[in-house]
Amino acid sequence: MANGEGFEKEFVVNMSYFPPNRALMGPGPSDVHPRILAATARPTVGHLDPWFVEFMEDLKGRLRNLFLTRNDVTLPISAPGSAGMECCFSNLVEPEDTVIVCENGVFGSRMRENVERAGGLPCMVKNDWGKPVDPEAVETAVRANPDAKILAFVHAETSTGVESDAKTLCKIAQSHDLLTIVDAVTSLGGIPVNLDEWAADAIYSGSQKCLSAPPGLSPVSFSDAAMEKTKNRKSKVRSWFLDLNLLTGYWQGQGGRSYHHTAPINALYGLHESLVMVEEEGLENSWSRHQKMHGALKAGLEAMGLSLLVEPAHRLPQLNAVKVPDGVDEAAVRKFLLDRYNLEIGAGLGPLAGQIWRIGLMGYSARPERVLLCLAALEDALTSCQAKINKGVATAAAQAVL
Amino acid sequence: MANGEGFEKEFVVNMSYFPPNRALMGPGPSDVHPRILAATARPTVGHLDPWFVEFMEDLKGRLRNLFLTRNDVTLPISAPGSAGMECCFSNLVEPEDTVIVCENGVFGSRMRENVERAGGLPCMVKNDWGKPVDPEAVETAVRANPDAKILAFVHAETSTGVESDAKTLCKIAQSHDLLTIVDAVTSLGGIPVNLDEWAADAIYSGSQKCLSAPPGLSPVSFSDAAMEKTKNRKSKVRSWFLDLNLLTGYWQGQGGRSYHHTAPINALYGLHESLVMVEEEGLENSWSRHQKMHGALKAGLEAMGLSLLVEPAHRLPQLNAVKVPDGVDEAAVRKFLLDRYNLEIGAGLGPLAGQIWRIGLMGYSARPERVLLCLAALEDALTSCQAKINKGVATAAAQAVL
């Protein structure tokens, strides 16, 4: 088989390789704007090309504007949000460090995994799914663990649609000299993420939520204190690929960039275009748009007789957890929406499996056409399975808000 | 600043965001075929979409055909080749495991870093840069370390343009019951990678070399023995993102896929298109094309009076290490090529910095137009810096081979 002779080829699936054109209203990825798709198809250049080095500076500046931060180390990790999470934990957590981890959904438990794999000791603050992180419980945990080094929490829980109070949680951490790690995967671009006001030490997000770029990149930002800790670690970061001491040699290098890994050039074109579009719209306008589309969707859902899981004060406009009416097969509804309308919405996870749908209004999906499609299609789906709903009123209720 | 008011925006660079249209003849990324760029811009779908699940099966089948393997676990890691390397080491190396690492260029020393960060004990077999790994030295090291668990080496050293004898090295490992980790980043698609014939246990590659897809993905493949070791580890894999026990729940899941991370959907469209193109051309034909383009480039370079670093028996056709003539400022030549011809070639690294250029003929860059452009442009550059070369003969010499 020196030339591959005699190797019997694997059967490959006989399918169309052009994907269906879906409306993406699940928990992410969201609809990618055609401008962003077109940007990703621009000509590839080398990762050390002088043009690309200038492009990287521009990209970092726009990311700082988006995070509302002056943090020097603000860059995109060359992998999805889960790798951005791992970058924060693997750099900041040293073996035997106690880390207070707030859990109120899927991503808090993933944080615990990250602490353990970095050699740290997680101390869990558990909250009910569908509720925000309770600051008093955090204060109690912090007092009970005077050796703790880090507080970690999720700003916008994608699994439940809940916002936690990042500013208050960061303040508690700071009053006890803890570093903070914040998950902003679903929040960035959709609701205010005021990084410098919060003074969080490490934050990560994703390209495929409210930025509407394809999945695959994770914007992160680190405070000077976080970088100090990373530089002065007693043991090396357990990941070579995510070691900030090496990554910054490529992204930050003064007077020359050191090759670390080959950056995903075309994906970065897409992320950059999404940042240009956010600036064109205005960050505050983007937040308002998400809020307005949420209001319209909510009006339509409630007119239909459906209700939302999360209390109004803690609802994420970009991720709506909708209660499944009694007796309705939630998976059949999602299949109906996908098959008949090319519309993707999300299922519940963990204890909320079967209880909720998750309807995303993120980035380019947060627009009137999508709100109306979703309401009309959902009405059709629920009608087809004989659910008791108010018919013929949802879209008008939404249009009154739009 | 509750609404981001008062935040003074970062200065962003005033530049054209449409990249220059380069000819990519460095060590990678290579030229991306327009078909592949277009594929990446197809509509994004969800990572659990039924269409996408079928697409994943097709992609895995084509990857198996490319690696010439029947390994069940053959999939693309959602990050560049460096993460593919880390995936192999972080899953297979357990704390205190001795790993014999062959070093004959940059990527052997990166392997050592990976062993250490996984908690293993590297035992280095050092070879001169520009030479292949010496099987006798490996045999000696293996005998001297009866407790060693793994042998790791680079098949095609991108930093020097040298091919090592993967089949022989794997055989040595197998005769001593060692698992093998093979770096095939630059070899896959350009020269034979006969995975099942070698019976290597873990192998990783990159999308941006001889496959000519954009950078950002790393195809990997694992033998049953490698998966056994991963499943039966005493301690968890140090990376959550790269833990094969979790990744296979998404890529391999029988009767349902578990969400692990959000796959980089559009990048995967591009990789898939590159695999379709390799099958259309025929894998053996792709190998022959790389060999033929190398022959033409070599004929032109030698006609000009230049010479190659590596002995003919160990030369990679897809990565040509060309000696810089005495008295020539190699960086000035590269700048001339980039500025005047939009042509990127690579510099030497480590002990070879300033001594060689690295001219890549990978994937879509391995075509007659690129060979001729490179020779003509290099002749112009060397003439402009008064190097002693034979003028007006290079392109004809290449054309005689083409």
- SS3 track for A52-100: HHHHHHHHHHHHHHHHCCCCCEEEEECCCHHHHHHHHHHHHCCCCCEEE
CB contact under 8 A, A206 and B262: yes
CB contact under 8 A, A45 and B20: yes
Identity of the residue in B58, B264, B284 whose CB atom sits nearest the CB atom of A80: B264
CA distance A382 to A336: 9
**pLDDT for residue B253:** 78
pLDDT above 90 covers a percentage of chain B that reads 95
Q: In this predicted structure, which of A10-19, A109-118, A223-232, A284-293 has the lowest mean pLDDT? A: A10-19
CA distance B88 to B237: 11
CB contact under 8 A, B41 and A44: no
pLDDT single digits (tens) B186-236: 999 999 999 999 999 999 999 999 999 999 999 999 999 999 999 999 999
Before B312, cis peptide (omega within 30)? no
Tokens describing residue A280: 């064109």
pLDDT single digits (tens) B125-174: 999 999 999 999 999 999 999 999 999 999 999 999 999 999 999 999 99
> Residue B118: closest CA among chain A residues belongs to which residue?
A238
Identity of the residue in A13, A38, A51 whose CB atom sits nearest the CB atom of B54: A13
CA distance B135 to chain A (A): 19
CA B227 from chain centre, in angstroms, equals: 23
Tokens describing residue B151: 């042998």
Give the residue with greater pLDDT, B118 vs B5: B118
User: How confident is the prediction for chain B on average, in pLDDT?
Assistant: 96
Identity of the residue in A24, A114, A338 whose CB atom sits nearest the CB atom of B240: A114
CB contact under 8 A, B241 and A208: no
Tokens describing residue A308: 């939302």
**pLDDT for residue B2:** 52
> Could you tell me if A148 and A99 are in contact, meaning their C-beta atoms sit under 8 angstroms apart?
yes
Q: Is the pLDDT of residue B1 over 60?
A: no
3-state DSSP call for residue B279?
A: helix
CB contact under 8 A, B338 and A49: yes
- B-chain residues near A345 (CB < 8 A): none
The CATH number for A23-27+283-401, chosen from 3.30.465.10, 3.30.930.10, 3.60.110.10, 3.90.1150.10, is 3.90.1150.10
Per-residue pLDDT averaged across A292-304, rounded?
A: 98
**pLDDT for residue A5:** 67
Domains of chain A, by residue range, sit at 23-27+283-401, 34-279
CA distance A176 to chain B (A): 24
> Could you tell me if A38 and B41 are in contact, meaning their C-beta atoms sit under 8 angstroms apart?
yes
> Could you tell me if A244 and A91 are in contact, meaning their C-beta atoms sit under 8 angstroms apart?
yes
- At A131, the pLDDT band (50, 70, 90 cuts) reads very high
Select from A269, A249, A270, A267 the least CA-distant residue to A259.
Answer: A249
pTM of the shown model = 0.97
CA distance B215 to B28: 8
Cα distance from N-terminal residue to C-terminal residue, chain A: 65
Pairing of strands B202-204, A150-154: unpaired
> Residue B109: closest CA among chain A residues belongs to which residue?
A240
- At A279, the pLDDT band (50, 70, 90 cuts) reads very high
Per-residue pLDDT averaged across A56-81, rounded?
A: 97
User: How confident is the prediction for chain A on average, in pLDDT?
Assistant: 96
Q: Which residues contact A288 (CB under 8 A, 6 or more apart)?
A: none
- At B32, the pLDDT band (50, 70, 90 cuts) reads very high
* AA identity, residue B82: S
CB contact under 8 A, B78 and A80: yes
- At A15, the pLDDT band (50, 70, 90 cuts) reads confident
- What is B34-279's CATH topology? Aspartate Aminotransferase; domain 2 (3.40.640)
CA B383 from chain centre, in angstroms, equals: 33
Q: In this predicted structure, which of A126-135, B245-254, B336-345 has the lowest mean pLDDT? A: B245-254
CB contact under 8 A, B117 and A266: no
Whether chain B has a CB inside 8 Å of the CB on A186: the answer is no
**pLDDT for residue A1:** 45
Look-up of token digits 């799914």? A129
Q: What's B293-352 look like in SS3?
A: HHHHHHHHHHHHCCCECCCHHHEECCEEEEECCCCCCHHHHHHHHHHHHCEEEEECCHHH
CA distance B310 to chain A (A): 23
Which of A1, A5, A7, A272 should one mutate to test binding to chain B, selecting the residue with the greatest count of B CBs within 10 A?
A: A7
- At B254, the pLDDT band (50, 70, 90 cuts) reads confident
* AA identity, residue A332: A
Q: Supply the angle between the helices B283-304 and B394-401 in degrees, to the nearest 10.
A: 150
pLDDT single digits (tens) B368-388: 999 999 999 999 999 999 999
**pLDDT for residue B3:** 60
Torsion angle (degrees, nearest 10) of CA B202, B206, B211, B217: 110
CA distance A325 to A390: 12
Q: Is the pLDDT of residue A18 over 80?
A: yes
Q: Is the pLDDT of residue B5 over 70?
A: no
- At A200, the pLDDT band (50, 70, 90 cuts) reads very high
> Could you tell me if A78 and A87 are in contact, meaning their C-beta atoms sit under 8 angstroms apart?
no
Look-up of token digits 């963990």? A350
Per-residue pLDDT averaged across B91-116, rounded?
A: 97
**pLDDT for residue B126:** 98
Torsion angle (degrees, nearest 10) of CA B311, B316, B319, B321: 0
CA distance B179 to chain A (A): 22
HSE-CB at A198 with a 13 A cutoff on CA atoms is 31
pLDDT above 70 covers a percentage of chain A that reads 98
CA distance A5 to A171: 65
At A356, give phi and psi (nearest 5°): -135, 160
Which of B54, B111, B117 should one mutate to test binding to chain A, selecting the residue with the greatest count of A CBs within 10 A?
A: B117
Whether chain B has a CB inside 8 Å of the CB on A175: the answer is no
Q: What's chain A look like in SS3?
A: CCCCCCCCCCCCCCCCCCCCCCEECCCCCCCCCHHHHHHHCCCCCCCCCHHHHHHHHHHHHHHHHHHCCCCCEEEEECCCHHHHHHHHHHHHCCCCCEEEEEECCHHHHHHHHHHHHCCCEEEEEECCCCCCCCHHHHHHHHHHCCCCCEEEEECEECCCCEECCHHHHHHHHHHCCCEEEEECCCCECCECCCHHHHCCCEEECCCCCCCCCCCCCEEEEECHHHHHHHHCCCCCCCCCCCCHHHHHHHHCCCCCCCCCCCCCHHHHHHHHHHHHHHHHHCHHHHHHHHHHHHHHHHHHHHHHCCCECCCHHHEECCEEEEECCCCCCHHHHHHHHHHHHCEECEECCHHHCCCEEEEECCHHHCCHHHHHHHHHHHHHHHHHCCCCCCCCCHHHHHHHHC
Torsion angle (degrees, nearest 10) of CA B329, B332, B334, B339: -160
**pLDDT for residue A83:** 98
pLDDT above 70 covers a percentage of chain B that reads 98
- B-chain residues near A238 (CB < 8 A): 117-118, 238-239
Per-residue pLDDT averaged across A347-360, rounded?
A: 97
CB contact under 8 A, B240 and A46: no
3-state DSSP call for residue B276?
A: helix
CA distance A79 to chain B (A): 5
Q: Which residues pair with B360 in a beta bridge?
A: B319
Per-residue pLDDT averaged across B279-290, rounded?
A: 97
Tokens describing residue A42: 């621009």
Whether chain A has a CB inside 8 Å of the CB on B235: the answer is no
Q: Which residues pair with A346 in a beta bridge?
A: A358
Select from B271, B47, B34, B60 the least CA-distant residue to A11.
Answer: B60
Tokens describing residue B10: 């970062």
H-run or E-run covering B74: strand B73-77
Whether chain A has a CB inside 8 Å of the CB on B4: the answer is yes
Pairing of strands B162-163, B121-126: unpaired
CA distance B263 to B249: 13
Q: In this predicted structure, which of A135-144, B2-11, B266-275 has the lowest mean pLDDT? A: B2-11
CA distance B70 to B225: 13
pLDDT single digits (tens) A303-340: 999 999 999 999 999 999 999 999 999 999 999 999 99
CA distance B172 to B40: 41
CA distance B322 to B161: 10
